[in-house]
Chains A and B, each alone.
Chain A
């Protein structure tokens, strides 16, 4: 006993131990009078409940159950009535001496929520955390974990604004906190840094989102954009082995296509193109109906001392553009073993992922752009059988040749090995050592043949390349947790240390001008460029270390009052010499009002009402390594000295020994509620988050500086918003159930400052640049104003000369477009709305009727404007290339059509209201009724559609845009891989 106490003291966790022990003698107390009764208290699953209070009704005579759930009590008579109570369970009365099964008080509140370095009962949570379990995940053609919870977490925007099979979902939580650092939440897969694509979606048990800083602060410099905890399925002890197969087949096509001029329009002279006598639908020629098939097999089970699981997934996804694809194989295997009467647990895990895609980047290599721009009266093939090309026109290439004249593969392989030792010398005190290493190898190899446009246009025979990238991540994590519960008190403490080391290496080589196209990328050395000194080669290596010490204390009383305090002390090698370490504290409180005595009268309808308040400090690590150092470029500044070229050295980065993390402080107040017998429940959170020391690249004078920009921590940004999630089961009958969840989030981002005493810069910056030939900024970033502010010329009509009519905001006069307007921004530019959605919503519905179920997931964004880049480039009559059919139509009521004199430019006409509500997923499932048999336990079949329809005022293809660079919000890029619509048939079989 005393020795245990000593151990506890070591961990700083002695607080409750003594008190707990003091209640124990009651078990043994037996008086001379009365009757001795005994029994067992268990939960619904048959597990013994330890520490339940057993009281003889109407007396103070009580005891608590022991570690096997047994009670022993001396009562006044055989007919005495016992009251059994335990936190989280419904109080129950029973006859003395009976075995008792306690029902959980509130299933919702007893859900286990993953909070980072541990779990907590939902009822004890004091922060804004949303937990989504597997049964609530979306189904269909799910390509990464983001798709599973899209629209289900208020404040978490998940979008996939691309149809590219290799592009992952982009995620953003609670606005923009950094202009150059990361705005994507930290994703931890079973406690280790990963991504939404690390594991197969089928392999995921739950996804928990730590939304506010009071929860995320335990992750220090990585937590400022929120934390997403992905927990994979693990085997359970004492569980029969189950095997599960789930698979599906999907067909995908582009959701929507741009309406470009066709052959008849060319022949009618609506473009500058000459009729070449053919009719080619170029988009058709480069695209297809794409097939995806996805198979997952999972086996798990366990006996008394060992549990295991293995999960294998194969996915083969075709891209809608010909020759684009993504193939994946993923494996996750785990083995746990308990020893020495459960005092020691060993756990091993291996995670493996292979990925492969083709050499074509349909967006980056302009396949899509060329298909849209190309003359629809041109043939695909020339008379000589080669691709029909017309290099006289600038930037004009046959898109079918781009797809077909490249070979190669981009392959990545990720392996993560994890080992855990958990020691639990006494119940409730666990010490865990985790060691993990992850290796990532990427190999990109490819060849562009002599018939590839680039080689033909530039008189080369072939271009071959190889590039390798390697990453190693080592993790060590040592944590010690003590949990204790006695009477109305709940106590938990955690201390830990974590160490992460990452090293990256890369190598590339390329060569050009081969004798023929035979070798492709398989004999890189024989190209002529190597001999001529023009072949490319390079390599690099860099590393960084992140070290953290952390602690957390959580205390709860009577399921009414909960408090959680945490602190992380963290350092990164990326920080400057003067600021290697930072502290990231948090505190949060929860008050379950509904459990107060004065709320007794509401018990009939109010199941839960909890008020939460939290505060926390988190950070963002600078994106790149070595940014605090004076670095030198080697190579580019060659100089000619006495007839020879000598290598030179030149500073390419100013030092900043004060470089540190961007610091974010957040306050969060929330309410959790559940009413009407848990038929309606939800939460509301209000937050205010301020980033200080925000990184910005400052223009600095040269001299005295060595380089013209310095990265420094100066700016301030504020995000504030409100989030609301409501779940309801409006109908629940024997055969029919309707369950619905609605999420709503509003966020406002404001730039507060970009200057301090040391670094001063202008209060306005023009950002969000459109490329050639428009070459203009489209937004203004201004101190004191929201981000994403569209800023440019306001068009109000078209003149008889076919030029835009522009409103001069200084005088109010309407003027015909001229070039000076583009550079005289002070006079002519004005604010034209905002690019960042003010409101994000999600609405999911599940209908169950007998063996059928129907799921509908809606997502929506409101209060923003999109720059329709495709219109800015293609709805114009100055271009040589093909145009949108709308180019022949007057944009405004004045009836004037744009003339060729009006060059491509950015005016407010190209901004479109982006509001939309999209049915992003629709699934109809059927559970095949099976007679009991020893082979198959369950069969489920479903039909699903993704990106079903969109109700929107947007005049482009798809208003759902990726959450990319915060300095480029709201631009619907003309080159993006258009989003796709998929139809899926799937089957799940459990054996």
Chain B
């Protein structure tokens, strides 16, 4: 609507003053209020905060802490190194769940979408990145010792990546040009790099053996493992000299006199393993700062927790294959140190009931997926110490490299070489006997093994074996046995199974051990539970995870796999 024409002069002047004042005020306000800088309060941001020297020191943490994630992160090394193997797996647990991704692992039906692959890729590369970052920082990488240890850690992360995925980007610098993305290195190149790094830094890593620290001996152990597996990783380029190099490295450890076998097998799996003389390298877990080990949660039935009164969640997913349990020898105390079966009793000795039935872990299993396994089926893992309250096994340290492993690795090389440097196959048998001794205290003679036994076949009755019937109904066994007699060094392979079950060990071992007269290894060629023999060995390595492919179009999928997504 129109405004009035008749405005007095006075009024107009008055208006003008007000307008000027308002425009002026607005101008001032606007000038002060276009500032869009961000203020940080409870988070640190590099762009907004200058790190002190102490802060920079703290950036070394992920060099070490990433290894905890690598080993015990969800789907981590503890899972991926065993769940595709012949000792244990996770089935469809009828009435409980689980099973989803683990069934494909068991059956070796790998694809890029399985969570285990992306987790292990990401966690190991996070470790690599942390190391690259520290090595680029002169303030933190201030001493030769720290530099050497960080480089050894990096080599260890790369070792894991190489072992799992083989065709991996090898990046050793921290600062890159904008837009740079890594490309996969040839396996030979990565292998050589890991070897030369470890060789270069091993002696500088120091003699100090304490948990969480990567000593000279840990570096040599990692190098020995690199050599031990060479022929398995490069089947077209086999070279016995790697076993010799392996022994040379192991001798540095053995001859140092710094290590000895623990009196009891279980000493290596306590909540705190720092007292065990057997630990060459261990990852520390602790109840306030670093929890992780969920073996008890994975294995123990919810009702079965009452035996220890541990309070964490427990779903009892894992199953140990009866064919594997069969290879334990009579009198071997590792069976009871590792597994529990039969009726379960609470701390006070009273029987534990599950929905009115006594809780009783059976040895037999139905199937991985059809129908799956019933809640009470399978013996349970008690290898890692389970403590009451919120401990369970959550704070148990990880024995990453054990002296027993060094001894058995040396035995394996001696057997593969038929003797080396004056040591014979009988010396190999003596090493194995030495490791076994603590497990046959009641009858020490049973500990003794011969080279012939070790070089003989495996006692593992390989073959497809499942019961597709339903609980309460008729059994329907589907069986197709292969046996294990045709496995090279089968006796030793069985020993490794009993000694290192659930120590992220088995996948490497059965990839390395071959079926006689073939180019097929146990991992791909043999069958167990619901896993059938494969036509080729492309599953020796896992597919490059899908999110890594998504994030870097330069990456190529491993042979034999198609991108699932």
Contacts and interface: CB of A to CB of B under 8 A. Distances in A.
B417 interface: no
A427 B2 CA distance: 7
B169 interface: yes
A272 interface: yes
A822 B132 CA distance: 38
A460 B99 CA distance: 30
A547 B36 contact: yes
B111 A824 contact: yes
B519 interface: no
B132 A703 contact: yes
A202 to B, nearest CB: 33
A20 interface: yes
A284 interface: no
A80 interface: no
A375 to B, nearest CB: 9
A632 B58 CA distance: 11
B44 A631 contact: yes
A775 interface: yes
A272 B354 CA distance: 13
A51 B1 contact: yes
B284 interface: yes
Nearest to B55: A649
B171 A704 contact: yes
B370 A818 contact: yes
Contact of B122 (A460, A655, A702, A899): A702
Interface in B73-119: 92, 94-101, 103-104, 107, 109, 111, 113-114
B38 interface: yes
Contact of B44 (A24, A581, A649, A903): A649
Contacts of B26: 478, 497
Contacts of B55: 649
Contact of A542 (B4, B22, B42): B42
B348 interface: no
A626 B547 contact: no
Nearest to A497: B30
Contact of B15 (A7, A50, A704): A7
A571 B2 contact: no
A518 interface: no
Contacts, number: 332
Interface string B34-60: 111111111111111000000100111
A580 B38 CA distance: 11
Contacts of A773: 96-100
A955 interface: no
Q: What bracket does the count of chain B residues touching chain A fall in?
A: 35 or more
Contacts of B94: 878, 880, 900, 903
A630 B311 contact: no
Given A458-B311, A703-B171, A903-B99, A637 B61 contact: yes
Contacts of A812: none
A642 B149 CA distance: 14
Contacts of A580: 36
A257 interface: no
A459 B311 contact: yes
Nearest to B12: A3
Given A625-B38, A630-B45, A3 B15 contact: yes
Given A393-B302, A632-B45, A650 B551 contact: no
Nearest to B56: A649
A581 B375 CA distance: 60
A701 B126 CA distance: 10
A764 B171 CA distance: 28
A845 interface: no
B480 interface: no
A259 interface: no
Interface string A528-560: 000001100001111111010100000000000
Contacts of A64: 2
B95 A573 contact: no
A499 interface: yes
B38 A629 contact: yes
Contacts of A630: 45-47
Interface string A899-930: 11101100000000000000000000000000
B303 interface: yes
A438 to B, nearest CB: 18
Nearest to A27: B5
Contacts of B38: 544, 573-574, 625-626, 629
A497 B43 contact: no
Contacts of B96: 394, 773, 880
Interface string A604-640: 0000000000000000000001100111101011111
Given A391-B302, A640-B64, A762 B181 contact: no
Given A648-B62, A700-B551, A824-B564, A272 B95 contact: yes
A486 B111 contact: no
Contacts of A776: 100
B355 A392 contact: yes
B369 A631 contact: no
Contacts of B65: 636-639, 648, 650
A698 B181 CA distance: 14
B315 interface: yes
Nearest to A276: B356
A766 interface: yes
Interface string A803-814: 100000000000
A181 interface: no
A64 B316 CA distance: 91
B273 interface: no
B48 to A, nearest CB: 7
Interface stretch (B221-229, B232-240, B286-294, B330-338): B286-294
Nearest to A49: B1
Contacts of A135: none
Interface string A697-709: 0111111101010
A778 interface: no
A486 B7 CA distance: 18
B189 interface: no
Contact of B548 (A499, A539, A701, A899): A701
A539 B42 CA distance: 8
B125 interface: yes
A760 interface: yes
Contact of B61 (A390, A647, A699, A762): A647
Given A571-B36, A625-B38, A655 B46 contact: yes
Contact of B37 (A541, A573, A903): A573
B15 A426 contact: yes
Contacts of B29: 476, 478, 497, 499
B302 A572 contact: no
A499 B34 CA distance: 8
A383 interface: no
A459 B37 CA distance: 50
B160 interface: no
Given A542-B42, A575-B36, A629 B564 contact: no
A650 B316 CA distance: 34
B33 A547 contact: yes
18 contacts: A3-B13, A3-B15, A64-B2, A67-B3, A484-B3, A485-B2, A572-B36, A626-B45, A650-B130, A655-B47, A700-B551, A706-B129, A801-B370, A803-B370, A820-B104, A823-B101, A825-B564, A901-B370
Q: Nearest 6 CB-CB pairs, A to B?
A: A648-B61, A773-B97, A880-B95, A427-B3, A699-B551, A392-B303
Given A1-B5, A629-B46, A762-B550, 10 more contacts: A393-B355, A428-B1, A458-B390, A499-B29, A701-B551, A706-B133, A708-B125, A825-B113, A900-B471, A904-B97
Interface of B: 1-5, 7, 9, 11-16, 18-19, 22-23, 26, 29-30, 33-48, 55, 58-66, 92, 94-101, 103-104, 107, 109, 111, 113-114, 122, 125-126, 128-130, 132-133, 169, 171, 174, 176, 179-182, 210-212, 284, 286, 288-290, 301-303, 309, 311-312, 315-316, 352-356, 359, 368-372, 375, 389-390, 468, 470-471, 546-553, 562-565
